[in-house]
Structure 1
């Protein structure tokens, strides 16, 4: 009843011209209060309730969108892969999630890390108001409107009226009592200012009496509003005083997975089910708002070491005799588990490692440079296929990326190389990226040989004296539904390896009499990847790759060609929003040709074309937790029909924050 009496009193007071003026004013001032309440609603539950009363849909949607953008900025998959030096429509490294992911930082528009605090967005959003000096500035207010004179009087006499950024007033919009109280308070402040300055007789006695009665009527609401604003200011000050950093954002990913397998080499017993983990923390720092320094830390409990002992692949009998390369590897385990391939030194389970250290900075409108001492080829190149996502998508190493990207340890999972390169945006549909990477750039001298041609630093030493790679990718987007990536890599390896970790033949890539591990090799690798989104929720994706391996020592005459291909269908929001799935089939790396002293298969192997079949379903529990069951089947694993058909099952749980 008190509320009803209040509205009756207010209506009686507003029968005069000045009263009507105030009503029209306050009807348009509601966004003034909606903005801070809507944007600060995250700080406490009571504020959220207030925001629901006084915020319109656009304000809350705008706030949600800005938070989603920051979540994308914080994603740790393909860290560079979502940098954009110009527009939000074209990712610098094209993360499919845009898509999305993607990586990490938009360095062209308004995505500066310094612009993500709640306080800095208090006046953002579609409902931000702007002071007007003439009623003619409001496009939806006409001289024939019944309240036109009231609005004109308020503008000319008091100057306490505001409109929306699109020059509209929206005078027919309903308002709440809180909005009315807030508008009344704004007008009272203006009246008090005019009285204090006494520059003109703009306020009449009747006006003051009306305002005083309205102030008394809404005293409770005004007091409540002031209290909430004070609480928000105090909370904001506390957050600013205790924030981690003004320039750095922290995000992370935790993967806990159960892995089981059956099959493998003939006569082997099935290994026990294992429980593995990988934890990554990423510090994304910007000093100018347009650059990005990525510092990544990780720990994992996968085993392997130099001889692969303790790994699932070694238990199946499908791993190479050193470094445990195999086609039975999951997407989220490192290429060289339990060992530093630079020095062959061991790494204990769950020890802390620096797996990423990379700096990206623009130097021109269409040109961005990057350099770092812990980087991978995949950091710089767009992810064309939707199956990439070590914690969220495909469960096998084979399915997620073109093998050309993985050559020379390009996706080692440990920041194997020191690298430098550029990203050049030719047009909105076409961009070119290239890099040079050196594996042992920090090692001044080659260590003594531990076996013929293989030193204690098997990948060489120095920026230009050890194993290295020059890689490039041309990305073409002829339409919004098609992405095409063309890859080329030229690499030198100090020992006889491919460096992909995709198959046991990765170690000893040139096989035959006299072609031992100590022979250096030169590789030219080409590949292409395409994704076609033929509906909003279904995409077809595939790749093809060829590796041309040649002896680089001149002591022997040998060359081998490896080929690989993959095709699959990816589903978005399958059965429920946020749930993804994939079905993948293809041929892992396979020796298709050999010349000179090289042969197509090791002695004793029964050469056969290998095939890979995979299916997975990611169930999104909430924004921070997903569970992915899946399995992949290997036919003729490691290109040897003597091996039994092998099945690897995975139950992966991923936490992100």
Structure 2
């Protein structure tokens, strides 16, 4: 056979044979940035380390930690000349000889910069095409530069035998590829969006309670729900627009009517603030607190609208008209997760994050801020939020004497607002620390945390319409003894002063919590928590403010909680749990109160 004929055989039969040889041997390329962001948007709220990436904006939204990272560029493949350059390829590997032939005979196989081949990784069709093209280019080069025989007769016979032996498998693969291509074309033609992904969460829970204020009968058990749908959109692959919709059937309104807290007699006379509140209950159920209008059960509302975008390697900005402090600040504690972890509002977050309705559960504030990543283990975050940015003017009418029917004021830079900051650092692999400061102004005599009945009328003995200024400090620490055991706790102090010229009053509130968090308890994926602490409690009062409201017996309140979450499947979890309140609301006249919860969470 002439040299010319052999060259053509090499370009045809050789290409088909090489296709089979490299089919399982090409290295898989790293995912691109868009794919990595898609994976980060997946539901992974229980990963304790997610909150500590200093280059990450964590959006704690529907218990799904939606993150956008400063991602590294993909590893580039490097051409090699000898199979010995690949550190993870051994002569005992079943495909060693085939790989050695492709590398040393044809020079058309690439490895990774770290001298690995990663032969066990899956291969995409793109990678297959790239590898085949590289081999064919090399063969063409050999054809044009060589006059000697490039392919031996034995090689052609071997290739022919391989084609005959694997004819059935190749035909099956062709059929599968055709089916995949047809299915892909159908999905692309009918996809929801090329830039937007949909995920959601549905909570169905039974709640029962006993105890409460003297003379109150135990309320009937209730069945409640909360459903959230989240649209996450990326326009550049590095930014993120979050749009969240929700509906729930919790009741309350301006006077707390229909709420479990009101039935127990523990709630404030306005807004149903109480230490008996569950973690997944909105702070102002049944009420638009901006104008005191009622909101019906299971009404659809926009609870999240937030845009996040990087402007420099270490600097990320965010802004939105429906946001919460916890969207930008890592929780640090593993007990955070309204649909997955702690069942009480007390245990989920440091109270400083909740000041000014910072975690209202309904996207109360318009906010803007930044994240500056000092180093992989240290970042600083700050925001400004206004809870009345969409109101051009405060109403002249009064809901109650001295309180406007738009009680939070009006305008982006007037009325109730908050400036908050958090320094998050990780001094060691197993230790996470978050330090918080918040400065806020309220048109009302209120803390805005929703944690205790004393939240409303924070300066006891002072009129409800008295504006106040809060300076709040707190810290949260989590120490992981092992991957399955963590100790976590927080401490907080809220300093409240009147902001009017008519009175001179101040009050200090303190709170602390300590708990043990367990992962993979009895079964992988299951978690549990045991929590003890002191809810917010007045520890000091001066001026016209009083330490103990009239009719109460002052006593330090305590909170004890336990829960166990077990995974039924990747998308369903069930959490039974209970918490007990001793001296509820800091009043020993109130009976010891127990609240039991059976929460089922569906994620999709």
Task: Give the TM-score normalised by the residue count of structure 2.
Answer: 0.85
Matches within 5 A, 1:198-597: 202=149, 206=153, 208=156, 210-450=158-398, 451-512=400-461, 515-597=462-544
Paired with 1:76 and 1:284, the residues of 2 have a C-alpha distance of 15
Instruction: Confirm or deny: 8 A CA contact 2:470 2:495 kept in the other structure.
Output: yes
State which drifts further: 25-34 or 358-367: 25-34
Q: Which SS does the other structure have where 1:496 is aligned?
A: coil
1:92 is matched with: 56
Question: 1:328 offset after TM fit, Å?
Answer: 0.2
Question: 1:359 offset after TM fit, Å?
Answer: 0.7
Q: Which SS does the other structure have where 1:529 is aligned?
A: strand
Q: Relative contact order, CA 8 A, sep 6+: which one is greater? A: 2
Instruction: Confirm or deny: 8 A CA contact 2:200 2:229 kept in the other structure.
Output: yes
Instruction: Confirm or deny: 8 A CA contact 2:54 2:379 kept in the other structure.
Output: no
1:644 is matched with: 591
Q: How many residue pairs are counted as aligned between the two chains?
A: 571
Post-superposition Cα deviations, 1:441-484, rounded to whole Å, max 9, x if no partner, equal: 11011012313321111000001111000111111211011111
Post-superposition Cα deviations, 1:242-282, rounded to whole Å, max 9, x if no partner, equal: 22211111111111000000000111110111000000111
- CA 1:271/1:132 → structure 2, altered by over 3 Å: closer, same or farther? same
Q: Which runs of 5+ in 2 are unaligned?
A: 1-13, 121-127
Question: 1:134 offset after TM fit, Å?
Answer: 6.9
Instruction: Confirm or deny: 8 A CA contact 1:318 1:504 kept in the other structure.
Output: yes
Paired with 1:543 and 1:77, the residues of 2 have a C-alpha distance of 20
- CA 1:138/1:254 → structure 2, altered by over 3 Å: closer, same or farther? closer
- CA 1:545/1:231 → structure 2, altered by over 3 Å: closer, same or farther? same
- Identify, as 1 or 2, the structure richer in strand: 2
Post-superposition Cα deviations, 1:365-403, rounded to whole Å, max 9, x if no partner, equal: 111111110011111111111100000100000001000
Q: Is 1:73 aligned to 2:22, yes or no?
A: no
1:18 is matched with: none
Task: Give the TM-score normalised by the residue count of structure 1.
Answer: 0.79
RMSD: 3.8
Post-superposition Cα deviations, 1:204-243, rounded to whole Å, max 9, x if no partner, equal: 6835455444433332222122222222222222222222
Question: 1:535 offset after TM fit, Å?
Answer: 1.8
Q: Which SS does the other structure have where 1:226 is aligned?
A: helix
Question: 1:135 offset after TM fit, Å?
Answer: 6.9
Post-superposition Cα deviations, 1:516-541, rounded to whole Å, max 9, x if no partner, equal: 11111111111111111122211111
Question: 1:429 offset after TM fit, Å?
Answer: 2.1
Q: Which runs of 5+ in 1 are unaligned?
A: 1-20, 36-58, 111-123, 175-181
Instruction: Confirm or deny: 8 A CA contact 2:308 2:318 kept in the other structure.
Output: yes
Instruction: Confirm or deny: 8 A CA contact 2:57 2:68 kept in the other structure.
Output: no
Paired with 1:142 and 1:633, the residues of 2 have a C-alpha distance of 61
Post-superposition Cα deviations, 1:111-142, rounded to whole Å, max 9, x if no partner, equal: xxxxxxxxxxxxx99xx998767778667999
Q: Equivalent of 1:104, from 67, 74, 83?
A: 67
- CA 1:154/1:313 → structure 2, altered by over 3 Å: closer, same or farther? closer
State which drifts further: 208-217 or 129-138: 129-138
Instruction: Confirm or deny: 8 A CA contact 2:352 2:473 kept in the other structure.
Output: yes
- CA 1:612/1:163 → structure 2, altered by over 3 Å: closer, same or farther? same
